[in-house]
Chain A
Amino acid sequence: DIQMTQSPSSLSTSVGDRVTITCRASQSISSYLNWYQQDPGKAPKLLIYAASSLQSGVPSRFSGSGSGTDFTLTISSLQPEDFATYYCQQTYRTPYIFGQGTKLEIK
């Protein structure tokens, strides 16, 4: 299986901050990397696909980059509704494993 490692596992941040979350694959996955946001008690929501493509309806403050094994999700200016947990997922080969998640908390 291709393993996905996210860092950090949690981050204490403030509204207006620029935030970067990283995700590393155990082998090259080209650009087969998605990012999801999950609010407590809710289903995950797709934010970014193919490493850097913004899903329809997602605010432009979210962006993704990377290819191969190293990827990043950046939120340019945190808004109150962005305090959630974020997951990366590889879809290069089944099983389409998720990273362990990064929880953004209010400082």
Chain B
Amino acid sequence: EVQLVQSGAEVKKPGESLKISCQGSGYSFTTYWIGWVRQMPGKGLEWMAIINPGDSDTRYSPSFQGQVSISADKSISTAYLQWSSLKASDTAIYYCARLGMAVTKHYIMDVWGQGTTVTVSS
């Protein structure tokens, strides 16, 4: 079964660092880009960034460039999203998703992780 399994919920204080993970299984991890999506409480989906686990090439949304960092370790089929200094406004659910390619040659986010809830509060 193709799946992405994310790390568990985190509760942090402002200014702390954090790294959350997304492990893929059931497919060739290096063949597909992995994306990260933020959902703030009661709000919509925000596309953050994508990474190619094969060569660690990345693309960031301007809204998130410099605010977060994404990485991948292909040896353990895991992608990461990290913050060096959290803010209360980083409180959200973070989803990872596989960026597949449909038969029409269009990119699709076809497999999603279960989400990681990050709470930042003093």
Residues on A facing B (Cβ under 8 Å): 1, 31-32, 34, 36, 38, 43-46, 49-50, 53, 55, 85, 87, 89, 91, 94-101
Contact = CB atoms under 8 A, between A and B. Distances in A.
Given A49-B102, A85-B44, 4 more contacts: A32-B107, A34-B109, A45-B112, A98-B37
Q: Which of A50, A95, A99 has the most chain B CB atoms closer than 10 A to its own CB?
A: A95
Given A44-B95, A49-B104, A94-B59, A89 B109 contact: yes
B109 A36 contact: yes
Contacts of A31: 104, 106
Interface in B88-122: 95, 97, 102, 104, 106-110, 112-115
A94 B114 CA distance: 23
B47 A95 contact: yes
B35 to A, nearest CB: 7
Nearest to B49: A95
B108 A46 contact: yes
Contacts of A97: 47, 61
Contacts of A53: 102, 104
A38 B61 CA distance: 22
B1 to A, nearest CB: 14
B11 interface: no
Contact of A50 (B46, B106, B115): B106
Given A31-B106, A49-B102, A91-B107, A43 B45 contact: no
B50 interface: yes
Given A1-B62, A43-B113, A96-B35, A91 B106 contact: yes
Given A43-B115, A94-B59, A96-B35, A34 B44 contact: no
Closest 6 CB pairs of A and B: A95-B61, A43-B112, A50-B104, A91-B107, A101-B44, A98-B45
Given A36-B109, A96-B35, A96-B107, A87 B44 contact: yes
Q: Which of B60, B62, B63, B112 has the most CB of A within 10 A?
A: B112
Given A53-B102, A96-B35, A101-B44, A46 B107 contact: no
A50 B102 contact: yes
